[in-house]
Amino acid sequence: MTQPSITLPASGAYSLVNLRLHRSHLEKPGSLVFDTEGFALAEIDISAGAIDRIGPSGQGAARSQAIDCRGAIVFPAFVDCHTHIDKGHIWARKPNPDGSFPGALTAVGEDRQANWSAEDIERRMEFSLACAYAHGTKALRTHLDSVPPQEDISWPVFETVRDRWKGRIELQAACLFGIDQALDEAWFNRLADLVAGHRGILGAVTYMVPDLDMLLDRMFVKAMDLGLDLDFHADETDDVGAISLDRIADAALRHGFEGKILVGHCCSLARQPDARVKATLDKVARAGLSVVSLPMCNMYLQDRRADATTPRWRGVTLLHEMAARGINVCVASDNTRDPFYAYGDLDVLEVYREATRILHFDHPVGEWPATIAANPAQAMGLADAGTLKPGASADLVLFRGRSLTELLSRPESRRTLIRAGKLIDATVPDYQDLDDLMEP
């Protein structure tokens, strides 16, 4: 990944010619001619770090400094809207004993209590962000485990890390706790103030606890008081009784909530009867929720069987039905090399490749490439990310592949990264860098 396939002129004014752009990554299709997968041969003029012009290949007044991309696909730099960089890369010292969801919860809880000092999480966050940056990500939201006393350790570290990465990765964070913990109202109020103080997002895991509606009300009221967006982990289970997505949509409508709400997982929706699915999704659309699917983590944890039998469902939620209703849908990384997911490297192209296979983002490709670009940018409230348009920062990922089958059949580990019009070093850190943290 260290050798760019192109060199760029020092002047910073040049044209990338003979490249392929996807319709879903463009603000306006202009006069581009798209093939059946939605790709068009195009060229991009760049100067002073920004996109000046996007036009059909060979038809514009391409600059004398023209770089031939040989028909390769160019994506906007990635937006990864659901990650856990506070948990990442602890696998070597704390594996999941059986690959199950309860196994993950217990293992992470034990590791958090034993090891999550400020230094430990800061170094693992840095490692994760170096990976994400080297794969082409420019904006990322993480959840931060915020059960006592972790909130007072993790949030100040997050603020330091966000400042350090400013200009490279735009970082957001949402607090994470089981929603029943908010029964302790004094603790919850203090946490919400802490989150607001760090310009974070109010988040929780919405288990089907008896007081769920009341607790959601508590979170919505607090978010409106403090001007915070909301982010929930919902229904990450095959239990058809898990319907917290429906309850979140109800709460959003009940409160007339005007901020942004992102809901992750929603796995159990795929197990519910059609009538319930339809009623829930109509409500989700009306409430304006965004939904993010985490296909790699879901495939790993859902339908994991203790009796040495084979999994029989894919674990992902109903993104096609959601997109058909106009719901803003995204896919994202979720966990990396921790008990919730043994693998992963915050490579959003890998997420998209796996999503294509697991969720059938193909035949037709349609607008699915937006699920790692414009859609998460919208869910995160980012104006300058996810869309290629004149005036936007020239933040691009240039691949080798020229079509979807070429793009998704190889890891594309020699992709070229352009940020603000310049080539950046795309080297992932060595695993050895974290070895000293992995000793028991």
Helix axes 150-165, 185-197, angle to 10 degrees: 10
Which residue lies nearer to Zn ion by CB, 82 or 400? 82
Number of amino acids touching Zn ion (CB under 5 A): 1
Structure-token match 């996109």, residue found? 51
Q: Which two tokens stand for residue 250?
A: 């109800």
In the set 122, 236, 350, 412, the catalytic residue is 236
Structure tokens at 191: 């946490």
* Long-range Cβ pairs for the range 422-427 (8 Å, 24+): 422/8, 422/12, 422/49, 423/4, 423/6, 423/7, 423/8, 424/133, 425/2, 425/134, 426/1, 426/2, 426/4, 426/134, 426/135, 426/136, 427/1, 427/2, 427/134
Minimum separation from the CB atom of position 133 to Zn ion (A): 20
Binding pattern to Zn ion, positions 310-349, x when CB under 5 A?
------------------------x---------------
**DSSP run (H or E) holding 370:** none
DSSP annotation string for 305-366? -TTS----S-----HHHHHHTT-EEEE--B--SBTTBS---S-HHHHHHHHHHHHT--SS-T
Listing from the earlier edge strand, what are the strands of the sheet with 137-145?
78-83, 137-145, 170-176
Q: Which residues contact 22 (CB under 8 A, 6 or more apart)?
A: 37, 38, 39, 73, 75, 365, 369
Kindly state the smallest distance separating residue 233's Cβ from Zn ion, in Å: 5
CB of 300 to Zn ion, least distance (A): 12
Active site residue 43: no
Give me the residue label for tokens 């803003």. 328
CB 291 within 8 A of CB 261: no
State in angstroms the smallest separation of the CB of 176 from Zn ion: 8
Kindly report the CA angle at 297 between 396 and 214, in degrees rounded to 5? 105
Calpha distance 81→224 (Å, rounded) = 22
Q: Which is nearer to Zn ion, 296 or 382 (CB)?
A: 296
Q: For the CB of residue 178, give the shortest distance to Zn ion in the complex, in Å.
A: 13
Exposure on the CB side of residue 159, measured as CA atoms within 13 A: 12
Q: Which residue has the tokens 């414009």?
A: 374
Residue number of the CB closest to Zn ion reads 334
The structure tokens listed for 312 are 């029989």
Cα 267 from Cα 147, distance rounded (Å): 24
Shortest separation between residue 340's beta carbon and Zn ion, angstroms: 7
Q: In whole angstroms, how close is the CB of 332 to Zn ion at the nearest point?
A: 8
Q: Please identify, using beta-carbon distances, which residue of 161 and 262 lies nearer to Zn ion.
A: 262
The residue among 62 and 297 lying less far from Zn ion, judged by its C-beta, is: 297
* Omega of the bond leading into 440 within 30 degrees of 0 (cis): no
Judged by CB, which is closer to Zn ion: 145, or 395?
Answer: 145
At its nearest, how many Å lie between Zn ion and the CB of residue 205? 9
| Closest CB to Zn ion among residues 246, 334 | 334
Return phi, psi of residue 51, to 5°.
Answer: -80, 125
In the bound state with Zn ion, the residue whose beta carbon lies nearer, of 120 and 334, is 334
CB of 143 to Zn ion, least distance (A): 6
CB neighbour list of residue 108: distance below 8 Å, 6 or more residues apart:
87, 90, 94, 145, 338, 339, 340
Q: Compare residues 231 and 395 and give the one whose CB is closer to Zn ion.
A: 231
Strands 396-398, 416-419: pairing is antiparallel
Q: Closer CB to Zn ion, residue 334 or residue 350?
A: 334
Please report, as a single letter, which amino acid is at residue 87: K
Residues catalogued as catalytic: 236
Which residues here bind Zn ion, judged by CB under 5 A? 334
